[in-house]
Each structure stands twice: as structure tokens, then as C-alpha cells.
Amino acid sequence: MALRIPAVTSRAMTSRSLLRLALAGAVTSGAVMLATLPADASKAARTVPLRLLALNDFHGNLEPPTGSSGRMIDEHGHTVEAGGAAYIATHMKALADTNTIAVAQGDLIGATPLISAAYHDEPSIEFMDKLGLKVAAVGNHEFDEGYAELRRIMDGGCHPVDGCSPAGEWKGAKFDYVGANVLFKNPNEKTDALAALGAQQTQVKKLLSDWGVPALPPVSVKWMNGVPIGFIGLVTQTTPSIVTSEGIKDLKFVDEVKAANVASKILKLVGVEAQVVLVHEGDQVTAGQSPDACSAVPGLGNRIATQVDPEIDMVLSGHSHQAYLCKVKDPAGTDRLYSQGGSFGRVITQVDLNVDLRTQDIDRASVVADNHVVTRTVTPDTEISEFVKTWKDRVAPVANKAVGTITTDITNTAAPSGESALGNLIADGQLAATKTGGNAQIALMNPGGVRASLTYAGSPVGEGDGVVTYGEAFTVQPFNNLMQVVTLTGAQLKTLLEQQFTGGPNNQAFTKILQPSANFTYTYSQSAPWGSKVSDMKIDGVPVTDAQSIRVAANNFLVGGGDAFLAFRDGTDLWSGPLDIDAFVEQLGTNNPIAPPATNRITVVS
């Protein structure tokens, strides 16, 4: 007898409906039917085809990305212009066939250009709906505005502060967002949530009861050619250290491998054998390689790809913004695909495979993958071109407003000290914006928050050479973080600076040099052990003592302990001020024209 899983009839999400979705996967077809094979299956074709088309780390790049973000090495070793929504749509239409399911591996939204960010990324999600996306893992940037905002993006409704966009009330994403390793912290959610499953799913209820209460659907099941395909969503476990803590205070992000294995068991219990992981975690690559090469240097992504349950047939990844196609061994020693498709819509990963009708499982020997570069030599899709133009016109009055001038390019490229001219300029603006009210004495900016460079050459909108528009400033600072000030002792400030380097108790994955305001200088040693690297700290030329109190300005992401700078959490006397973008715009507007600041605030010794 077939097992019928109830469909979701309301967009409103409650703890009760979450676990229904854990099985139903938010399927929009009405219901999931786990049917037995027909009696004459032996006479039917033994396998059926399936094509997956995957995107990752789109980050709202509706317009073609510029600079290095808009270039990609193709299969022939040539660097080509790539990306842009209208070009993605053309390529997707050319690649899709009647056997296609479109999927994504997170960061579709967040850290987006103003054309999308100004409307809380509703335009980017609408674009994904127009592409026919069916399932997406959440990425860390899906949590940039917090869990409640992610639920609004998923389920619909106007923004609680800014209201409806010019397009009217938001209807919610038509595709399924999944995240098996995102759980509620509060175990009291369990009783009501588990009751929603019903008595007939006893095994699944017990499995989830032992595991925890999912804050998002762990899996999504899609049907193709008569067989169910299960998609497991995962997001990097490091998410709490790279998003603002307040927005995810009720959530926990658990080990990706353990979560994937629980989700795999859920799928098995309801009869889904064909299983695909969509994970927002990946690896770095050897530079300059073809997008089809297995150039990934084994790291956090490879750990997941090689350790998740052998029942899982392939792992499509994201997060590291790299392109690779690899064949790895699962724990049973069988080959499975491990891939990623770059970022910003520059690559579409195509995976062709066959599903065995008898076992309803993927024939791994049939899997063929290809990373297609989204070139701009094709005709852009007319409908999507008009769609992008509509949103560009809506935001143009704000985006094209001049806010300052510069004398030459001011880049976010790191100098040998780890500083960048643009990072230092931002820190200077943050100090100026927090002195009054917050009594800030120094400011520190996280390098990862400086998302682009400022270029001297004028853009096609005609603002002129050297003119910085609000849209260009927003591209540099797209997070709308709040500026805050806390009091740290000199000793705590030294600990904070030590946390820039690997080797400490916070497990910093790689060195992240905070960008200092001009009045703060110090020295660090490359060879000294962790804890003894930083010395000679000075504010306005005066040495810092361990006992003195220092008012330190930073964005709320850092103050909340983001990027593993946990010493910020020891700060006292918290003061909150303007948004970081407002501080940056004010700095640009009051110091015209601006030349690139020197990158000599940090001294490096061997």
C-alpha cells in the first residue's frame, strides 16, 4: 500500500507544519506519493533519465557582475565575461529538457547589489522562480537579516518595517528552501511539532525526536519520470560565526555530516532511494584551472562529501565560490560526484544521470557532470532583461545619487600588512560616525565586509570619472550592519587582535586582519606563537596599557563575535549608532576628494 504524505495547504509556517515539510519537502505538486512499481515493470524501460541544473552563491547579481567578479576561466583556459540574470536564463533554457530539476546550494540572497538589497532580495527570489528553481539549500547569507526574515522570504508577506515593495505584497518563494542541520535550540518545541506527524510515522517521529526540532524543512522530495528524488539541504556549521548573532539567537547549526545522515534515514524510511545533498560548504582550488577540473583542495567540503552516508548519491556544494568537478569515495568505497559552480551566476552545473526503475536509486556509473560557463556571447533572455530593467529603474534615483569623489581607484586588495586602502577608509569613517554619542576612540573593520573596490572611471549611468554613487558605495558595504561601540581593556584589545591569526582557541580558519582607523597602530610578528604575536599598540601615538579602558567601534556583526572575534563579546557599555553604510557615505561626502589612505597602520616583523 502506498504511503501518502499530506501536502502543505497554507504558506504560514508553524512548528507543527515544519515536520510535515520534513517529509513532504514543501512539494508544490499537491502530495508526495511513494508508490510501488507497476506490475509490468519488467517490460518497461529499466532506467529513466534525470538532469540536474545547479546554481550556487548567486548573491543577487541580477545585473552582470563587473571586474573580477564578472570573469571566469572557461573549459579552454580562456578568461571570459560571465554572469547576469538575462544570460543565465538563456543558458538555462538551452540546457533544460523535460527531465530537468533546477536546484541551488545557498547564498542566493544576502550581500547583494542595491537592485536586490533595496527590496530585501525579493527581486532575486522572484528571478529564481522565473528560472524554475525547485529546491535550494540555505546558505549563511540567507540568515543575514535573521531567521524571521528568511521565513518571510520563504512564506510571503510584506517587510515588517519597510512594507511592501513596488511590486506589491510578497507572495513567497515558489521553490523549497531546505536546511537539515538548522535546529531550534528550545527542546520545548518538540511535543507539538512531533504530534503533527501522526501515529503512522512512528519511526520518523522517533528519529526526529532523538535528533531535535528542525527550524527548516530538512529534505525536499521531487518526482521525475515516475521516481522520487530526495534533496537534503545543509548549511555550513560555521554560520553563527559569520552572521549577526541576534537574528539566529533561537537556532543552532549542527554538524553537517550527522544532519545529512539523519535526513538520509528519513528519506529511506519513506521509500526515497535516490538522494542528493545540496550543501553550502565547499573547498578552495588550485588557481587557474578549468571549471571542469577536480582542482578542489580537500577541506571542509571534502569532509562532508566523503563522510556522509553511502546512501547519498552525490554532493553539490557552494560557499567557497569556486568551480570544480570531483569524484570522491563514500564511506563504502563507492564513487560519487562532488561539485561546485563558482559564484555570482557565472557557472551552471549540469548533472546527467539515470535512475533505476527497479531499485528507484541513482545509477552512479551513469553520472556525467559539466560546469557550463554562463557566457555573455548569447542573446540575453528578453523577459528577464525587462524584469531586471524594471527593478533597476525602480532603484535608480537612489543608486545614481552622487555621494562623494575620489582621486583614483581605492581598492580592497590587501597590502602585505593585511590592510587595504578601502578597509582603512571605512574604518576612518566608522570612527568619525561613532565619536559623538559612542565616545569611540578607535574603530576596527572586518576585511570580509569590504565587498568591492571603488573605481575612478565613471560608469554607464554617466556620473563621471571620480564620482562615487550611492549604489557604488552600497556595493562596497551591502550588509546594513549597525555601528556599535563597546569598552575593552588594553589586555582584551590585545586578545582581540591575537584572534586575527590561526592557531588560537577560536579555531580561526585563516588569518583575518582587521582594518584599523588611522589613529591606531600596532606591530605583529609572523613567527611568534599565537598569543604573543601582537605588540606596541598605540592610540594617537600613546602606548596602550593592559588596564586602561578603550572605546572600540565596530559593526554589530563583529561585536557579536563574528569571524571568530570572540573577545568582542567581553566588551561592556554597549552603544549602538548609525548603519555602517551611512557612516561610509558620510565619510565620502565630507572629505572630498578622497585619496587612498596609506596602508601603514600595522607593522609586520618576521
What is the C-alpha separation between 74 and 56, in angstroms, rounded?
Answer: 17
pLDDT attached to residue 210: 74
pTM for the structure as a whole: 0.81
Nearest CA-CA partner of 380 in 49, 86, 80? 86
**Domain ranges across the chain:** 50-373, 400-605
pLDDT attached to residue 329: 98
- Partners of 158 in the β-ladder: none
pLDDT attached to residue 2: 26
Q: What is the mean pLDDT of each run of 10 residues along the chain (606 residues)?
A: 27 36 36 37 74 97 89 94 98 98 97 92 98 98 96 97 96 97 80 46 71 91 96 96 90 97 94 97 91 95 98 97 97 98 97 97 98 98 98 94 96 97 98 95 96 92 93 92 94 98 87 97 97 98 98 94 92 90 95 95 97
**CB proximity list for 565: less than 8 A, separation 6 or greater:** 446, 496, 499, 500, 506, 514, 558
Nearest CA-CA partner of 259 in 233, 280, 295? 233
CB 316 within 8 A of CB 106: no
- CB neighbourhood size of 490 (10 A): 17
What is the C-alpha separation between 260 and 134, in angstroms, rounded?
Answer: 19
Architecture of domain 50-373: 4-Layer Sandwich (3.60)
pLDDT attached to residue 44: 54
What is the C-alpha separation between 225 and 448, in angstroms, rounded?
Answer: 44
**CB proximity list for 86: less than 8 A, separation 6 or greater:** 380, 381, 384, 385, 388
Strands 572-579 and 482-489: antiparallel
DSSP-derived secondary structure letter, 2 = P
Beta-carbon-side half-sphere exposure of residue 259 (alpha carbons within 13 Å): 31
CB 79 within 8 A of CB 73: yes
pLDDT attached to residue 244: 86
Question: Which numeric CATH code is attached to 400-605?
Answer: 3.90.780.10
CB 560 within 8 A of CB 244: yes
* C-alpha distances out from residue 6 to 189, 309, 326, Å: 21, 27, 37
* C-alpha distances out from residue 358 to 44, 271, 336, 492, 539, Å: 10, 13, 20, 63, 72
